[in-house]
Amino acid sequence: MLNKLESLLAQTDFELSRDQKQKLIDYVGMLNKWNKAYNLTSVRDPEQMLVRHIMDSIVVNPLLSGTRFIDVGTGPGLPGVPLAIVRPDSHFTLLDSLGKRVRFLRQVQHELDLPNIEPVQSRVEEFIPEPPFDGVISRAFASLEDMLSWCHHLPKPVEGRFYALKGTLSEDEVAKLPDGFMLESIFPLTIPELSEQRHLVILKSN
């Protein structure tokens, strides 16, 4: 697994410590183990998890601004856990409404010794941020329109950003942004050994 991860990282500009690499591998190991009972992800092969979950998550790291983030609809901790491992000076609140996922994340926090993640069980519209976040991150969570309407209260008013990790992106979805929000930028993402389209959409209040 370490060789596989290093071969993937070699196709990017990422430089990670041995400890960071080991934590990413250990996280995949936990995901694979718990998946059998908890059905956390449809990806069953650990090497594919490195591509589809680890690389797919950390590729956005250079595009994030700030140090306090919330990962909404985090599921088993994606992209929040991999990002927390590669970005140890930032803090990630991992929000999910399902208890089994939050229990898994608490175990991840304990076993991987990740003080910079905070698993929280809550519906996003009921969660009160104190203080507001630098960035609101979602991966395969909802349409842009739904993300903004459900998460509008989470980021800082002016400098806060919404980061949506998307696959294919339709012009129609971008055109349907609710009033009060604007598109800042769209970045096509390249994931090693993944031929499918990926984009990071960055939005803000106006």
Would you place residue 9 in the very low, low, confident or very high pLDDT band (cuts 50, 70, 90)? very high
Helices (H), the chain: 2-9, 18-38, 46-49, 56-58, 80-86, 99-111, 144-151, 171-175
159: CATH: 3.40.50.150
Which residue in the block uniquely carries the two structure tokens 């410590």? Answer: 17
Neighbours of 41 (CB within 10 A): 17
| Overall average pLDDT of the 67-84 stretch | 97
- Give 133-150 pLDDT, tens digit per residue: 999 999 977 889 999 999
For residue 98, what pLDDT is reported?
A: 96
| Overall average pLDDT of the 65-77 stretch | 97
43 marked ligand binding residue: no
158 marked ligand binding residue: no
Would you place residue 49 in the very low, low, confident or very high pLDDT band (cuts 50, 70, 90)? very high
73 marked ligand binding residue: yes
Total domains, the chain: 1
Would you place residue 35 in the very low, low, confident or very high pLDDT band (cuts 50, 70, 90)? very high
Amino acid at the residue 49: M
- Give 11-28 pLDDT, tens digit per residue: 999 999 999 999 999 999
For residue 142, what pLDDT is reported?
A: 80
Domain extent at residue 47? 1-205
78 marked ligand binding residue: yes
For residue 140, what pLDDT is reported?
A: 78
124 marked ligand binding residue: yes
For residue 1, what pLDDT is reported?
A: 96
Amino acid at the residue 9: L
What's the predicted TM-score (pTM) here? 0.97
